[in-house]
Amino acid sequence: MIFHINVPDKSIVPALQDKIDNLAKPKGSLGRLEELAVQIGTIQQTLSPTLNHPQNIVFAADHGVVVEGVSFSAPEVTAQQTYNFTRGGGGVNMFARQHHFGLKIVDVGVNADFGDLPGLIQRKIRKGTRNYRYEPAMTPDEMETALRIGAETVDLVHSEGTNIVSFGELGMANTSASSLWMTFFTGIPLKACVGAGSGLSHAGIEHKYQVLNEAMSKYTGDHSPADIMRWFGGYEMVAAVGGMLRAAELKMVIIIDGFIMTNCVLAASRLYPEVLEYCIFGHQGDEAGHKLVLDYLKARPLLNLGLRLGEGTGAICAYPIIDSAVRMMNDMNSFQDAEVTKYF
C-alpha cells in the first residue's frame, strides 16, 4: 500500500505557545500538558483542538511459532480471549467503558472458527502465521492484506467521527515477533529485546531467546523493512502498522500502547518516518525491552505503571492526561479574560 503522510505544518506552533503562555497560570506550570497541547494543536492545525469519539482497535491473530514453547500462555487463549472481549469481559473492555472509548475487535488470523459472533469484525487472513523458526511467517500478499485491513478499520472509525485512536493486540507469542522486529530495526542485541511476555520463568526466557536466535540465524531475506515485517511478524501486528499509517495519513492523533504496539510504530516509521509526528506514547510497560525501544525512538511515555497486558489498555489509561491538555486549551481563561495580572 502507498500512504501519503505529511509532517504537520509547524508554522502554527508560535501561536499555540502564545495562547498557552497567556492562560491564567505561571508560564510553563502545566508542564507536559502544554507540550501535548502544542502537539495536538499542530496535528489539527487549530488553536482550539478537540478530541472526538476516541476508539481503540484490537487486532487478534495467532502465531505459528507458539508451538515452540515461547509463550507462557496456551495457544488456545487467543480464541478464548477473543470470545471474552466480544462479551465485554476483558481488561480492555473495562477501561474502554471507564474512559468512554469505542472498541473494535478484529479477527485477522485467529486459529478458530467463530461463526457469526456478535461484536467481532471478521477479516481472517489465515488461521495463524507460519512458524518463522523454519519459514517466513507470511507471504507478501498476506502482509499486504493485513496492512489493508488495518487501514480499512481506521477508515471505519474515522467515518464514525473519531479523530484520536489507539491500537491493541491479542495473540499468544506476539512478544516474540516484537522482539525480532526490535532487534532488526534498532540493532539492539536480541538478548536485551527478549522478555517474559505473559509470564515466562528465567528458564523460559532463555528458551525463548534460543528459539528466536535460531530463527534470526536462518533469515535469508533482503533486510528491507517490509521483508522483516512479513518474515517474523503477526497478522495483528502488520494490521496495526497499516492502521497507524492510515491514521497519520488522516491526521488523527495516535496513542501508542505497550511493547508490541511500540514495535509496530517502530516498523511503521521504517516505512514512513512522518508517522511519529502523530504519536503520543501512552506508557512504559514492564516487558524487558520496552524502555530500550522507547529510548531508541526518543519517546517520552506519559505513564509508568508496570503494565504488560497489551490490548491497548495502557493507551486508554493515558487518555485522560491527553484530554486534560486539550481542556486546558479550551476551558481555561487567559489573563485578560480573567482580569488577572500576569505573574511571569
Per-residue pLDDT tens digits for 14-36: 999 999 999 999 999 999 999 99
Q: Can you give the pLDDT at residue 305?
A: 94
For cell 536462518, name the residue: 218
Q: Rounded to whole angstroms, how far apart are CA atoms 13 and 42? A: 7
Q: Could you give the CA distance from residue 228 to residue 67 in angstroms, rounded to a whole number?
A: 21
- Active-site hit among 160, 236, 311, 339: 311
For residue 47, give the amino acid letter. L
How sure is the predictor about 237, in pLDDT bands with cuts at 50, 70 and 90? very high
Q: What is the chain's Cα-based Rg?
A: 20
Is the confidence at residue 198, as pLDDT, over 80?
no
Burial annotation 112-147 (CB, 10 A radius, 16+ → b, else e): beeeebeebbebbbbebbbbbbeebbbeeebbbbbb
The tens digit of pLDDT for each residue in 206-226 reads 999 999 999 999 999 999 999
Q: Any catalytic annotation for residue 169?
A: no
Model pLDDT for residues 151-160, shown as the tens digit of each residue: 999 999 999 9
Distance CA(92)–CA(56), nearest Å, equals 9
CA angle in degrees (0–180, nearest 5) for 126-127-130: 80
Q: What amino acid occupies position 51?
A: L
Q: d(Cα 235, Cα 142) in Å, to the nearest integer? A: 8
Task: Check residue 343 and give its pLDDT.
Answer: 76
Residue 242 identity: G
Residue 65 has pLDDT above 90, yes or no: yes
**Average pLDDT rounded to a whole number, residues 175-180:** 97
The contacts found for 73-76 with CB under 8 angstroms, 24 or more apart, are 73/172, 73/197, 73/198, 73/199, 74/172, 75/111, 75/172, 76/112
Instruction: Match 489493508 to its residue by C-alpha cell.
Output: 148
Return the pLDDT at 145: 98
Q: At a CB cut-off of 8 Å and minimum separation 6, what does 248 contact?
A: 3, 5, 254, 272, 274, 275, 277, 278
Measured from the Cβ of residue 36, the count of other Cβ atoms closer than 10 Å reads 23
What does pLDDT average to over the chain?
Answer: 96
- Owner of C-alpha cell 506552533: 13
Looking at residue 87, its pLDDT comes to 96
339 to 4, 24, 126, 328: CA distances (angstroms): 46, 9, 64, 18
Q: Give pLDDT, residue 130.
A: 98
pLDDT at 199: 84
What is residue 282's DSSP assignment? -
More confident residue, 314 or 286: 314
Cell of 188: 539492539
The model's pTM: 0.96
Q: What confidence category does residue 182 fall into, taking pLDDT thresholds of 50, 70 and 90?
A: very high
- Contact (CB, 8 A) for 328 and 33: yes
12 falls in which pLDDT band (50, 70, 90)?
very high
Q: How much is the pLDDT for 75?
A: 87
200 — pLDDT class (breaks 50, 70, 90): confident
Per-residue pLDDT at 223: 96
